[in-house]
Amino acid sequence: MLEWLTIGWMTVEGVVAIGAGISAGSLVVLAFGLDSLIELASAGVLMWRLSVELRHGQRISERAEHIASRVGGGLLFVLAGYVCIAAFWRLWSGAGEEVSWPGLIVALIAIPTMRYLAQRKIAIAEKIGSRALRADAMEAVTCGWLSLVVVVSLAAQWATGAWWIDGVGSLAVVWFLLKEGHEAWSGDDCCRC
């Protein structure tokens, strides 16, 4: 049930954030939306992995999880590279865009949503001993922090009118993308449980 809720929310978050980011020309909102799509794929992979485990046993599902984690980590690294290039270009060229109100609203809603999902997933992961669910919960935690960065960036941009805040906020998002990408690639988060 939690994974279906995650899939539903990530779909809404991704569509709204990507549309709002493109519409307003906001790199920080666009990066947030693209990260949502990667997390959506991760939730789908978790559901697939758990179904493999139910049908074929844990040994096969561990290999499936390793492959899926590598793919997700690679996508996060590519996204981080794109955001860096785009942010540096905007900062160098002095191009700033308008505040994205739909992006701000979806990021505000994402903070308590991700907190709820993370808490529930962690509790269930500990109860059933699922490393995959624990890793998925950590992605929800990261998404919550990423949402906070987006909210702070957009609020600061709105309050000050400073054109460069979108670029700087985007670079703050890169830290979360690299952290989440490293954990997915190396499987660190999965193995701590």
Report all structural domains of the chain as residue ranges with CATH numbers, in order of start.
Answer: 2-186 (1.20.1510)
Return the higher-pLDDT residue of 76 and 165: 165
Lowest mean pLDDT among 1-10, 90-99, 153-162, 165-174: 90-99
Helical H segments across 129-186, by residue range = 131-160, 165-186
The helix or strand, by DSSP H or E, that contains position 163, with its residue range, turns out to be none
Give the sign of the dihedral formed by CA 20, CA 150, CA 121, CA 112: negative
Closest by alpha carbon to 153, among 90, 82, 77? Answer: 90
- ∠47-53-55 over CA atoms, to 5°? 105
Query: In this model, does residue 40 exceed pLDDT 80?
Result: yes
- Residue 59: its pLDDT value, please? 64
- Residue 50: its pLDDT value, please? 74
Reported confidence tier of residue 192, pLDDT bands at 50, 70, 90:
very low
Return the higher-pLDDT residue of 10 and 39: 10
Give, in order, the Cα–Cα distances in Å from 44 to each of 38, 65, 68, 178: 10, 12, 10, 21
Q: Which two tokens stand for residue 82?
A: 């794109």
- Residue 189: its pLDDT value, please? 47
Percentage of the chain with pLDDT > 90? 25
- Residue 8: its pLDDT value, please? 94
**Mean pLDDT on 93-115:** 88
* pTM of the entire predicted model: 0.77
